[in-house]
Structure 1
Amino acid sequence: MMDVVIIGGGPGGYEAALVASQLGGRVTVIERRGPGGSAVLTDVVPSKTLIATAEVMTTLRGAHELGLRLNGAEDLAGAFRVDLAAVNERVLRLAAAQSGDIRTRLEAEGVRLIEGSGRLDGTEWVVASTADGEERLRADIILLATGTTPRELPAARPDGERILTWTQLYGLSELPKRLIVVGSGVTGAEFASAYNALGADVVLVSSRDQVLPGEDADAGRVVQQVFERSGMTILSRSRAHAARVVGDEVVVELADGRTVTGSHCLMAVGSTPNTAGIGLESAGVELDERGYIRVDKVSRTSARGVYAAGDCTGVFPLASVAAMQGRIAMWHALGDAVGPLDLRTVAANVFTAPEIATVGVSQAELDSGAVTGHAVMLPLHTNPRAKMRGIADGFVKIFCLPTTRIVIGGVVVAPIASELIEALSLAVREKLTVDQVAESFTVYPSLTGSIAEAARRLHSGSLESVTY
C-alpha cells in the first residue's frame, strides 16, 4: 500500500485524497483551516453565497418593469432591508456545513485528517505541525495543495475592520455606507457587483480602461455599462497607492494624487502563493519567478514523487481546475489511466450581474491571429425568453474553425451564464461542429435558443468573421 500525504485540504487536496483512497492508497491530509480549505471556508463558497443573496435584490429591482407592485411601496426592492449580520451568519453557516460534508466523505473513504500545517523534509517525509506538536509522516507520494493568500499593498495593510481583504468581509454586521473596491479583476468586480446590488454605495478603482481586463472585451464592456447604469462609480485608469483609516472613514490615495473617501475599503489586488517556508527549495521543488510551483500537465513538480495542484501552481485559479489537477496527480502517481490537463476545455465564470462565462479560444486570440477562426455574436435582447424576463443586457458568442466548423470556444453574458455555458463547453470538449450544435433541439422559449441560433449563423461555408 502506497503512503500518500497531501498538504492542503482544498479542492485540489480533498479531490486528490478521494481518488488516492479509491485506488488503494493510505492517505493523510494536512489542513490548517478545515476540510475544503480556503475555497470552502473563506473564498469561493462564502462569496458565491453572498452573491446569490445579491441576485435576489437584483431581481426585486427589476420587478417594477414586469408589472409587479407592492401595496404602499413604489419600489419592490425598497420594501426590503438588508440585514448584513444575518446574511453573513448564513454565509458562514453554509460554508461550515459544506466543510463538514467534505469531512464526512473523506472519513468514510478512510482518509486520515490532521489539523495543522505541513512542510517537506526531503521528498519522502512530511512534517505535520499541530497544536500537540510535530509528527513525521513517511510518504511515497506527496501532493502540495497549499493555495494562496490575498496580496497586500505595503501602504494599505488590512486591519479587518475598515480596510479588508475578501476573507474578512464576512465579519461585517452592517452594510458599508460607501465601499471602495480596489481592483477590477474577477474578485473586485464580483464583490463590487454584489455590494452594489445589496444597496451599498460602491466606488470601483480600476487601473485599466474598463473592468475585468482579463475577460472578453465585449463582455467587460457590457458589465461596465450595467455597473455604471446601476449607480456604481468606476474610476478607470486609476491606481491605488495607499489606504489609511481616518476616524470612521478610509481614505484611499491614488497614484495621481487624488483621494477617495469611504466607510470601508476592500483590497482585491490579487494573491500570493503559499509556498514559502515549507521546505520546497531543499526538496528540489522548483518555483517560478512569482513563487508559484512549476508543474507539468500531469501535476508533477521537478522533485520525484512530489506533485502539486491548485492555486499554488498558478495554472488557472479555479476550484474546478484545482480539483482536476489533484485527480490527475493521483491517477498518474498510482498508475491509473490518465490524460494531461487540457486548459482549452475549462469553463470559467465571473459571478457579476450579469455573469460572464467562457470556454476555449478567446476573441483576443482570434484578433491577434494566434488562432484562425470565425466568430458570431448574438445579443440576448432579441431572445424571446430574455424579453419575457426583462433581460436587456448580454450576448452569446461562438468561435469555430474555418473549414471544419468545429466549435473551439465561446462566451455567454447573461444572468445565468454559468449554467448556459455547459452546452458550449460540451461542444468544445467533444469537438462538435456548429451544424451539430445548431441541429440540437432547444426548448422554445429559452435562453439556450440563442446558442443554437448563433451556431446556425456560423453555418455558411464562406462566412467570414461576423458580429450581429
Structure 2
Amino acid sequence: MNHDLVIIGAGPGGYIAAIRAAQLGLNVACIEKERMLGGTCLRVGCIPSKALLESSELYKEAEHTFKDRGINVGSLSLDLEKMLSQKDRTVKTMGGGIDSLFKKNKITRYSGHATITAPGKVSVDNGEEKTELEAKYILIATGSEPSTLPGIELDGDRVGTSTEALSYDQVPKHLVVIGGGVIGLELGAVWSRLGAKVTVLEYLDRILPTTDFEIAKEAQKIFEKQGIEFQLGCRVTGVKANRKTCDVEIADAKSIRCERVLVAVGRRPNTENLGLAEIGIALDKRGFIPVNDHYETAVKGIFAIGDVIGGAMLAHKAEDEGVAFSERLVTGYGHVNYDAIPSVAYTNPEIAAVGKTEEQLKEEGIEYRKGVFPFMANGRARAMGQTEGKVKMLADKQTDRVLGVHILGPRAGDLIAECAVAMEFGASSEDIARCCHAHPTLAEAVKEAALAVDKRALNF
C-alpha cells in the first residue's frame, strides 16, 4: 500500500499529526498495535488518572467538607468498582472519538507492530499476516513506557507501575510510592483520599524535582497535612513481593512492609524493535531518537516527535510537535515555542507552571523581579474554601518580560493557560496587570501577582 505519510503510533503526537496532515491534503496512514487509539495518555495515563482524581476528590469532599457547607450526605460508602467503571467509560468514549476523527479525515489505520525496513518502507505485523507499506515520509511517534529501578521486578500485581495503580481492585491498606514526581503524587493522592496509607519514597532531597523549589516545598507541606508521608533522600535497593504483602528495602534504613508498591520513577522512550539500528538511526545515551530542528532523524524522510525525542514528556508537547511537523512538511512552516509549554500536576491543590523556575534564572545569571500573591487573599478562593497556595510570577528586571509563572492552588491547570498565552506573545508583567480580570475569579490572583512584581498588589 502506498501513502504520502505513514505514522507509527496513535498517541497524542501521532494521531494529531495524522489529522493535521490529512487536513493539509496528504494521504495518511497510522499504525497502532493497541486496539484503542489514543496511546498511553488516553488508555492508561492522562485521562483515566484524571477521572480517578476527580472521583476521589469528590469522595473526600463528601466525607470531610460538605458538612461545613450545610450539606449532609448521611452514610457514605465507596463503590470502587463503579468508580473504576466510570473511568473506563470515559476512556472508551474518547477512544471512539479518535476513531471517528480518523474516519472523518480519511486516515487509514493499520493494526499491529511496525518495523521500518528501509527508508520509505514499513512492515506491519498483526500476528496473523504482514502488510508492507510504502511512503514518502515516515513519522515515529511511539511514545514512552514506565521505567523501573535495579533490584525491582515488576510483577503487574503487588509491584506495578501507573498502569496497575489505575485499576487496583481494592483500596490498599498501605501503598508505597517509589518516586516523588507528578505521576507518583497524583496516583498516591487518589488512593490516599480513598483510605490508603500512602508513603512516598524519593531519592532526592525534595519532591517534584523540575518544579520551582518554593512551590514544591509548600506543596509538600500541604500533602503532609492531607496524610501522605514522605521519606526524602531515600535510596530503594529492592522490593520483595510476598503473597499478600511487599517488603521495600531501603539503603541504610529499615525496610517497609506494605500491601502494594507503585514504581513511579519516570518514563523511557519506546524505541525497541522498530528497526532503527538496521536503517542507520542511532539512539542517544538515554535511548532517545536524535532529530534536527525539523524533527528529521539521521535518515532522510524519517522523522520523530513526542516522548521518543526527549524533552518534556507531556501529551500537549507531543501534540504541538505533531502539528508543527505536519505543517512544515506541507507548507514549509511549523514551530513550537519550548519556552511556553505549560506543565500541570493534578494534585489538590493543583500545581502548574510555564517558563523558567527561580532556580534556573539564578543559575543562568538572569536578573529578575518576583511577584507573589496568595490564594487566601482571593475572594473566589475564599468562597470555594480552597485558599492554600499562591501565584508566583518572575519577570526580567530590565524589560519586565514574563520569564516564568508558577501556581500552587485551585484550578492552577486552567489558570496557567493565560500565562502561557502571555509568554507566547512576549508579554510583560505590566501587560497582565493592566488587563481587566472578572471579579470574583481565581484569575484575579494572576493579575495580583503581576501587580506584585512592581510591588503594587491591591488586595494583599
Global fold match (TM > 0.5): yes
Q: Is the 8 A contact 2:180 2:202 kept in 1?
A: yes
Instruction: Identify the residue that residue 390 of structure 2 maps to in structure 1.
Output: 395
| Counterpart Cα distance in 2 of 1:216 and 1:60 | 32
Matches within 5 A, 1:334-373: 334-339=330-335, 341-373=336-368
Instruction: Identify the residue that residue 12 of structure 1 maps to in structure 2.
Output: 13
Alignment size in residue pairs: 455
Matches within 5 A, 1:20-419: 20-33=21-34, 34-61=36-63, 63=65, 66-68=68-70, 70=72, 79-339=75-335, 341-419=336-414
Instruction: Identify the residue that residue 76 of structure 1 maps to in structure 2.
Output: none
CA offsets per residue over residues 19-45 of structure 1, 9 Å max, x none?
Answer: 111122111111011211121111111
| Counterpart Cα distance in 2 of 1:123 and 1:336 | 21
Letter in 2 for 1:410: V
Q: For structure 1, list consecutive stretches of 5 or more residues without a partner in the other structure.
A: 74-78
Kindly report structure 1 stretches of 4+ aligned residues shifted beyond 4 Å.
none
| Counterpart Cα distance in 2 of 1:402 and 1:151 | 40
CA offsets per residue over residues 438-466 of structure 1, 9 Å max, x none?
Answer: 11111222211111111112236xx9xxx
Q: For structure 2, list consecutive stretches of 5 or more residues without a partner in the other structure.
A: none
Evaluate the alpha carbon distance shift between residue 331 and residue 370 of structure 1 in structure 2; reply closer, same or farther with a 3 A threshold.
Answer: farther
Residue 210 (structure 1) shift: 2.4
Q: Is the 8 A contact 2:270 2:308 kept in 1?
A: yes
Letter in 2 for 1:448: A
Instruction: Identify the residue that residue 421 of structure 1 maps to in structure 2.
Output: 416
| Counterpart Cα distance in 2 of 1:403 and 1:59 | 45
| Counterpart Cα distance in 1 of 2:64 and 2:443 | 22
* 1:453 and 2:455 aligned: no
SS of 1:412 mapped into structure 2: strand
SS of 2:383 mapped into structure 1: helix
Residue 101 (structure 1) shift: 0.5
| Counterpart Cα distance in 1 of 2:325 and 2:279 | 18
Q: Is the 8 A contact 2:22 2:107 kept in 1?
A: yes
Letter in 2 for 1:6: I
Residue range with higher mean Cα deviation, 270-279 or 103-112: 270-279
Evaluate the alpha carbon distance shift between residue 370 and residue 7 of structure 1 in structure 2; reply closer, same or farther with a 3 A threshold.
Answer: farther
| Counterpart Cα distance in 2 of 1:158 and 1:270 | 14
| Counterpart Cα distance in 2 of 1:99 and 1:149 | 19
Residue 310 (structure 1) shift: 1.1
| Counterpart Cα distance in 1 of 2:9 and 2:379 | 47
Letter in 1 for 2:329: A
| Counterpart Cα distance in 1 of 2:63 and 2:391 | 24
| Counterpart Cα distance in 1 of 2:234 and 2:59 | 29
Q: Is the 8 A contact 2:49 2:166 kept in 1?
A: no
Q: Is the 8 A contact 2:63 2:76 kept in 1?
A: no
Letter in 1 for 2:13: G
| Counterpart Cα distance in 1 of 2:115 and 2:452 | 55
Identical amino acids, percent of aligned pairs: 29
Letter in 1 for 2:273: G
Q: Is the 8 A contact 1:222 1:393 kept in 2?
A: no
| Counterpart Cα distance in 1 of 2:231 and 2:447 | 38
| Counterpart Cα distance in 2 of 1:312 and 1:214 | 19
SS of 2:331 mapped into structure 1: coil
| Counterpart Cα distance in 2 of 1:53 and 1:136 | 45
CA offsets per residue over residues 394-421 of structure 1, 9 Å max, x none?
Answer: 0001111222212222011112100111
| Counterpart Cα distance in 2 of 1:200 and 1:393 | 23
CA offsets per residue over residues 73-127 of structure 1, 9 Å max, x none?
Answer: 6xxxxx4322222222221221121111101101111101111110111211011
The TM-score normalised by the length of structure 1 is 0.93
Evaluate the alpha carbon distance shift between residue 424 and residue 61 of structure 1 in structure 2; reply closer, same or farther with a 3 A threshold.
Answer: farther
Letter in 2 for 1:108: K
Evaluate the alpha carbon distance shift between residue 449 and residue 162 of structure 1 in structure 2; reply closer, same or farther with a 3 A threshold.
Answer: same
Q: Is the 8 A contact 1:228 1:234 kept in 2?
A: yes
Evaluate the alpha carbon distance shift between residue 62 and residue 223 of structure 1 in structure 2; reply closer, same or farther with a 3 A threshold.
Answer: farther
Evaluate the alpha carbon distance shift between residue 268 and residue 442 of structure 1 in structure 2; reply closer, same or farther with a 3 A threshold.
Answer: same
Letter in 2 for 1:37: G
Q: Is the 8 A contact 1:189 1:211 kept in 2?
A: no
Evaluate the alpha carbon distance shift between residue 316 and residue 296 of structure 1 in structure 2; reply closer, same or farther with a 3 A threshold.
Answer: farther
Letter in 2 for 1:305: G
Residue 57 (structure 1) shift: 2.9
Q: Is the 8 A contact 2:337 2:424 kept in 1?
A: no
Q: Is the 8 A contact 1:397 1:454 kept in 2?
A: yes
Residue 330 (structure 1) shift: 1.4
SS of 2:14 mapped into structure 1: helix
